[in-house]
Amino acid sequence: MGMMDWFTGGKDKKEIERLTKELELIQLTKEELEYLDVKRELEAIREQFTQEQQQIEEDTKKQRTQLEKELKKERDAFDRHVKFERKAVDKEIKKKQNTILAETKKSQDEVAANTARLVELKQLIGEYDDKYLMQQHGLYEPSYEFDTSSAYKNMLDRIRSEQKDMIRSKVATSHPEQYMVDNDKKKGKEFVLDTIKLSLRAFNNECDVIIAGVKPTNIEKSADKINKAFDQINSLTDMQKISIRKEYLRAKLRELHLKHEFEMKKQAEKEEQQEIKGRMREEARVLKEIENARKKVEKEELHFRSAVTSVRAKLEEADDSEKQALLAKLAELEAKLAEVESIKDDIENREKNTRAGYVYVISNIGSFGEHVYKIGMTRRLEPLDRIRELGSASVPFTFDIHAMVFSEDAPTLENKLHHRFATERVNQVNLRKEFFKVEIEQIAKVIKEEFDETLEITLAAQAEDYHRTLQLREAAVSSV
């Protein structure tokens, strides 16, 4: 019998196993009970923690609500303060803006006024510069603009008559009504009259000399001389309280300008008459040239008509062997007759159309320098004759031809070219001088625009005599 059997008093083995299991269950329950106690304790702690957490959340929520109320109150107070400050700042800014706008407007008005004044001063300076430049180059701006020299002469006589009337009526001078010499009024009056005569005579003599010698280059200096004579003579009679009046001085200055313009107008009329005579001579040459050409072509026409008639008469009587040669001769004569008739028609057209002619562009580097061109026109049947005349003894070298344009209305084409290059005129006073300082490419462009795009224009000047002369001078210098 085993140990276990002895210990149990012989109980059944199965019973022992059952009891063992129950013991194990009793032990497990005890542990579970301990676990449940711990679990309940933990749940109590958790519940307490949850309650405390809820309390904290409620307290926090209340504090947050209170803080938000206080923050809103502070923010509202701040916003009111900011709004107040902003109004004050905006008011100050607006005040400063208004001040700045007022100052800006004032400155703009001053700038506008100064700009207008500057423009006015520039115009005045420009006018004075122009006048000075004109005087320096012998030019003159007219004070009067009469059409004829006779009108200037009439006005000149009128001003001189006015001066005489001023002297007669004793308003040319300022002088005392009563003057005493040795306590004698009569002697005083004679003294005053004699002094007036001497003053006016001296002044008039000075003015006559100055006015007689006036030129475009000394017009302003002449006026200064008259003013100086006026001051000097008046200073000599200052103690007697006798002086030439400024009205009389102005009359003399008017006479000076009128005399100058009168002489200029006479010279212009003289040049115009010379030009008219030149045009008449040119027209006479053209008419004579046309007449000679017509006589020549009519003579040739008559010759060819007679020859054609003669050949046609021979054809009627000729046999077959001669007809071929006669027909060839007839065709040749008829062709020449048609050519002559065409030339005759051209001549008759040129005779009827007084505006038909050639517009030419020529240069003379040796005489006038580079980029200076004469733009003119001629009605000659042979325009080169006119160019040869221009290059005669009056200039040291012959002209080079850049363009020779035939036009049915040559004066209009010439005027268009003159108008387009008006500011480039070499002589801005005498517009009858047809020389222009301009690039030849510009002239070519205008001619092609106004006349014919396909027209060939010679851009480079040969100037053979001029360049040969330069070579000879260089050779002479080199040999020294």
DSSP calls for 354-395: TT-EEEEEEE-HHHH-TTEEEEEEE--SSHHHHHHHHTSTTS
CA distance linking residue 129 with residue 145, whole number of Å: 22
Instruction: Report yes or no: 450 and 393 within 8 Å, Cβ to Cβ.
Output: no
Task: Give, as one character, the DSSP assignment of residue 396.
Answer: S
Q: What's the burial of 222, exposed, middle or buried (CB within 10 Å: 0-12/13-18/19+)?
A: buried
User: What are the Cα distances from residue 8, in Å, to 16, 20, 21?
Assistant: 8, 13, 16
The amino acid at 162: E
Tens digit of pLDDT for each residue in 234-274? 898 888 788 899 999 999 999 998 888 888 888 777 777 77
Q: Taking a C-beta distance cutoff of 8 angstroms, is the pair 405, 360 a contact?
A: yes
CA dihedral 114, 116, 118, 124 (to 10 degrees): -150
pLDDT of residue 152: 80
Band of the pLDDT at 228, cuts 50, 70, 90? very high
Q: Tokens for 185?
A: 């009024």
Asked whether the predicted pLDDT for residue 280 surpasses 80, the reply is no
Neighbours of 473 (CB within 10 A): 10
Token output for 149: 């020299």
- pLDDT of the residue at 138: 40
Q: Residue 32 class from Cβ within 10 Å (0-12 exposed, 13-18 middle, 19+ buried)?
A: exposed
Pick the range with the lowest mean pLDDT from 9-23, 148-162, 246-260, 290-304.
Answer: 9-23
Contact 417, 405 (CB under 8 A): no
Which of 57-66, 120-129, 345-354: highest mean pLDDT? Answer: 57-66
Secondary structure (3-state) at 410? helix
Contact between 259 and 211 (Cβ < 8 Å): yes
Strand partners, 216: none
| 267 neighbors 432 (Cβ within 8 angstroms) | no
The span from the CA of 172 to the CA of 109, in Å, is 48
A 10 A CB-CB count for 202 gives 16
- The larger pLDDT score, comparing residue 161 to residue 283, is at 161
Q: Rounded CA gap, 60 and 67, in Å?
A: 10
- Give the orientation angle of helix 246-317 with respect to helix 149-168, to 10 degrees: 160
Residues 365-404 have pLDDT tens digits of 999 999 999 999 888 888 888 888 888 767 889 899 999 9
Structure tokens at 163: 């001066």
| Residue 180 pLDDT level (bands cut at 50, 70, 90) | low
CA distance linking residue 408 with residue 241, whole number of Å: 75
What pLDDT score was predicted for residue 121? 67
Judged by DSSP in three states, 102 sits in helix
Instruction: Look up the pTM and report it.
Output: 0.45
How many Cβ atoms from other residues are within 10 Å of residue 40's Cβ? 10
Report the range of poorest mean pLDDT among 25-29, 148-152, 189-193, 324-328.
25-29
Residue 205: pLDDT band (50, 70, 90) is very high
Separation CA 179–CA 309 (nearest Å): 111
DSSP 159-227: HHHHHHHHHHTT-SEE--S---BTTBHHHHHHHHHHHHHHHHHHHHHHHHHHHHT--TTTHHHHHHHHH
pLDDT score, position 383: 86
Residue 132: per-residue pLDDT: 45
